[in-house]
Amino acid sequence: MSETVTYREALNRGMADALAEDERVFLFGEDVGASGGAFKITDGLFDRFGPKRVRDTPISEQAIVGTAIGSALMGLRPLAEIMFADFAAVCFDQIANELAKYRYMTGGQVTLPVTIRMSNGAGGGFGSQHSQAAENWLLNVPGLKLVVPATPADAYGLLRAAVRDPDPVLVFEHKHLFNLKGELNDPPAVGELGKAEIVRSGEDITLVGTQLMRHRCVEVAERLADDGVEAEVIDPRTLAPLDLDTIRASLDRTNRLLVAQECPPDGSWGASVIARVVGTQLEAFDAPPALVSAEETPVPYAGVLEEMWLPSVERILDAAKRTLDY
Amino acid sequence: MSETVTYREALNRGMADALAEDERVFLFGEDVGASGGAFKITDGLFDRFGPKRVRDTPISEQAIVGTAIGSALMGLRPLAEIMFADFAAVCFDQIANELAKYRYMTGGQVTLPVTIRMSNGAGGGFGSQHSQAAENWLLNVPGLKLVVPATPADAYGLLRAAVRDPDPVLVFEHKHLFNLKGELNDPPAVGELGKAEIVRSGEDITLVGTQLMRHRCVEVAERLADDGVEAEVIDPRTLAPLDLDTIRASLDRTNRLLVAQECPPDGSWGASVIARVVGTQLEAFDAPPALVSAEETPVPYAGVLEEMWLPSVERILDAAKRTLDY
Amino acid sequence: MSSSTSSSTAEIPLSEQLEWLRLMHEIRVFEEECHRMFAQGIVRGSTHLGQGQEAVAVGACRALRASDTMSCTYRGHAAVLAKGAPLDEAFGEILGKGKGLCGGKGGSMHLTDMRVGAIGSFAIIGAHLPIALGVAHAAQYQGSDDVTLAFFGDGATNIGAFHEALNMASVWKLPAIFVCENNLYGEYSPIASTTPIERLSERAAAYAMAGATIDGNDVVVVHDAVAEAAARARAGEGPTLIEALTYRHKGHSRADPAAYRPPGELERWLQRDPITLLEGRLREAGVDSERLDAVRGRAERAVAEALERAKGWPDPEPETRLEHVFA
Amino acid sequence: MSSSTSSSTAEIPLSEQLEWLRLMHEIRVFEEECHRMFAQGIVRGSTHLGQGQEAVAVGACRALRASDTMSCTYRGHAAVLAKGAPLDEAFGEILGKGKGLCGGKGGSMHLTDMRVGAIGSFAIIGAHLPIALGVAHAAQYQGSDDVTLAFFGDGATNIGAFHEALNMASVWKLPAIFVCENNLYGEYSPIASTTPIERLSERAAAYAMAGATIDGNDVVVVHDAVAEAAARARAGEGPTLIEALTYRHKGHSRADPAAYRPPGELERWLQRDPITLLEGRLREAGVDSERLDAVRGRAERAVAEALERAKGWPDPEPETRLEHVFA
Ligand SMILES: Cc1ncc(C[n+]2csc(CCOP(=O)(O)OP(=O)(O)O)c2C)c(N)n1
Ligand SMILES: Cc1ncc(C[n+]2csc(CCOP(=O)(O)OP(=O)(O)O)c2C)c(N)n1
Ligand SMILES: [Mg+2]
Ligand SMILES: [Mg+2]
How sure is the predictor about D256, in pLDDT bands with cuts at 50, 70 and 90? confident
- What is the bridge-based pairing of β-strands A77-84 and A115-120? parallel
Average pLDDT score over residue span B148-176: 98
Per-residue pLDDT tens over the stretch B62-87: 999 999 999 999 999 999 999 999 99
DSSP string, B253-314: HH--EEEE-SS-STT-HHHHHHHHHHHH-GGG-SSPPEEE---SSPPPSSHHHHHHHSPPHH
How far is C14 from B28, CA to CA, in rounded Å?
47
Contact by Cβ (8 Å): A303, C44: yes
Tell me which H or E stretch contains A130.
Answer: none
pLDDT higher than 90, residue B256: yes
Q: What size, in residues, is chain B?
A: 326
Contact by Cβ (8 Å): A88, A136: no
CA atoms within 13 A on the CB side of B115: 28
Q: What share of chain C is helix, strand, coil (3-state, %, to 5)?
A: 50, 10, 40
> Do the Cβ atoms of D163 and C162 come within 8 Å?
yes
CA atoms within 13 A on the CB side of B125: 18
Per-residue pLDDT tens over the stretch C94-137: 999 999 999 999 999 999 999 999 999 999 999 999 999 999 99
Instruction: Spell out a b/e string for D29-43, using b for 16 or more CB atoms within 10 Å of the CB, else e.
Output: bbbebbeebbeeeeb
pLDDT higher than 90, residue D6: no
Task: Tell me D113's DSSP state.
Answer: B
Instruction: Spell out a b/e string for A306-324, using b for 16 or more CB atoms within 10 Å of the CB, else e.
Output: bebbbbbbebbbebbbebb
- Please tell me whether residue D123 adopts helix, strand or coil conformation: coil
> Do the Cβ atoms of B125 and D160 come within 8 Å?
no
How far is C49 from A41, CA to CA, in rounded Å?
23
The percent of residues above 90 in pLDDT, for chain B, comes to 100
Average pLDDT score over residue span B307-326: 98
- Chain A residues within an 8 Å CB radius of D325: 103-104, 142-143
Cα of D127 from ligand 4 centre, angstroms: 16
Q: How far from the centroid of its chain's Cα atoms is residue B236's Cα?
A: 9
Pocket of ligand 1 from Cβ distances under 6 Å: A 30, 59, 61, 83, 87, 90; C 75, 123-125, 153-156, 181, 183, 185-187, 252
pLDDT higher than 60, residue B287: yes
Residue D215 vs residues C212, D1, D211, D247: alpha-carbon distances, Å: 33, 16, 14, 11
Backbone Cα Rg of chain C: 19
> Do the Cβ atoms of A109 and D102 come within 8 Å?
yes
pLDDT higher than 90, residue D45: no
The size of the C-D interface in CB pairs under 8 A is 66
> Do the Cβ atoms of B35 and D188 come within 8 Å?
yes
Per-residue pLDDT tens over the stretch D172-223: 999 999 999 999 999 999 999 999 999 999 999 999 999 999 999 999 999 9
- Residue D322: partners with Cβ closer than 8 Å, 6 or more residues away: B295, B297
- What's the pLDDT at C8? 53
- What's the pLDDT at C6? 45
D123 touches ligand 2 (CB under 6 Å): yes
How far is D9 from C323, CA to CA, in rounded Å?
71
> Phi, psi at residue B28, to the nearest 5°?
-155, 160
How far is D305 from C299, CA to CA, in rounded Å?
85
Euclidean distance between the first and the last CA atom of chain D, given in angstroms as a whole number: 46
pLDDT higher than 60, residue B22: yes
Nearest-by-Cβ selection for C315 from A30, A38, A304 = A304
Atom of ligand 1 nearest to the CA of C186: 13
How far is A274 from D242, CA to CA, in rounded Å?
54
Average pLDDT score over residue span D145-160: 98
Bridge partners, A115 (sequence order): A79, A169
- What's the pLDDT at D10? 57
- What's the pLDDT at C10? 57
Q: What's the order of all strands across the beta sheet hosting A205-209? A: A197-200, A231-235, A205-209, A257-260, A290-292
Residue B300 vs residues B303, D41, D118: alpha-carbon distances, Å: 8, 19, 20
- Please tell me whether residue C131 adopts helix, strand or coil conformation: helix
How far is C75 from C155, CA to CA, in rounded Å?
13
In 3D space, the residue among A66, B252, C229, B148 whose CA is nearest the CA of residue D167 turns out to be: A66
DSSP string, D237-283: ---EEEEEE---SS-SSTT---TTSPTTHHHHHHHT-HHHHHHHHHH
How far is D105 from A55, CA to CA, in rounded Å?
35
D153 touches ligand 2 (CB under 6 Å): yes
The reply to whether C109 touches chain B by the CB within 8 Å rule is no
> Phi, psi at residue C27, to the nearest 5°?
-65, -45
The reply to whether D10 touches chain B by the CB within 8 Å rule is no
How far is C311 from C293, CA to CA, in rounded Å?
27
Which residues in chain C show pLDDT less than 50? 1-7, 9
How far is D131 from A190, CA to CA, in rounded Å?
29
- What is the bridge-based pairing of β-strands D69-73 and D148-153? parallel
Q: What is the mean pLDDT of chain D?
A: 95
Atom of ligand 2 nearest to the CA of D152: 15
The answer to whether the Cα torsion of A78, A84, A86, A90 is positive or negative is: negative
Backbone Cα Rg of chain A: 19
Q: Which of B31, B39, B59, B129 to mutate to test the pocket of ligand 2 (most atoms within 8 A of CB)?
A: B59
Angle CA D226–D228–D232, to nearest 5: 115
Average pLDDT score over residue span A268-277: 98
The reply to whether C159 touches chain A by the CB within 8 Å rule is yes
For an interface test with A, which of B266, B268, B278 has the most A Cβ atoms less than 10 Å from its Cβ?
B266
Q: What's the order of all strands across the beta sheet hosting A54-56? A: A54-56, A25-29, A77-84, A115-120, A169-174, A145-147, A238-240
The size of the A-C interface in CB pairs under 8 A is 119
DSSP string, D20-53: HHHHHHHHHHHHHHHHHHHHHTSS-S-----TT-
In 3D space, the residue among B223, B33, B84 whose CA is nearest the CA of residue D194 turns out to be: B33
pLDDT higher than 70, residue D7: no
Euclidean distance between the first and the last CA atom of chain A, given in angstroms as a whole number: 45
> Do the Cβ atoms of B57 and C327 come within 8 Å?
no
B229 touches ligand 2 (CB under 6 Å): no
Chains that touch C (3 or more CB pairs under 8 A): A, B, D
The answer to whether the Cα torsion of A244, A250, A253, A256 is positive or negative is: negative
- Please tell me whether residue A173 adopts helix, strand or coil conformation: strand
Backbone Cα Rg of chain D: 19
Q: What is the mean pLDDT of chain A?
A: 98
Tell me which H or E stretch contains A26.
Answer: strand A25-29
Average pLDDT score over residue span A61-72: 99
Contact by Cβ (8 Å): C158, A57: no
Atom 17, ligand 2: which residue's CA is nearest? D153
- What's the pLDDT at A117? 98
For an interface test with D, which of C157, C166, C167 has the most D Cβ atoms less than 10 Å from its Cβ?
C167
Per-residue pLDDT tens over the stretch A101-129: 999 999 999 999 999 999 999 999 999 99
- Chain C residues within an 8 Å CB radius of D207: 196-197
State the greatest distance between any 2 C-alpha atoms of chain D, in Å, as a whole number.
56
> Do the Cβ atoms of D325 and A104 come within 8 Å?
yes
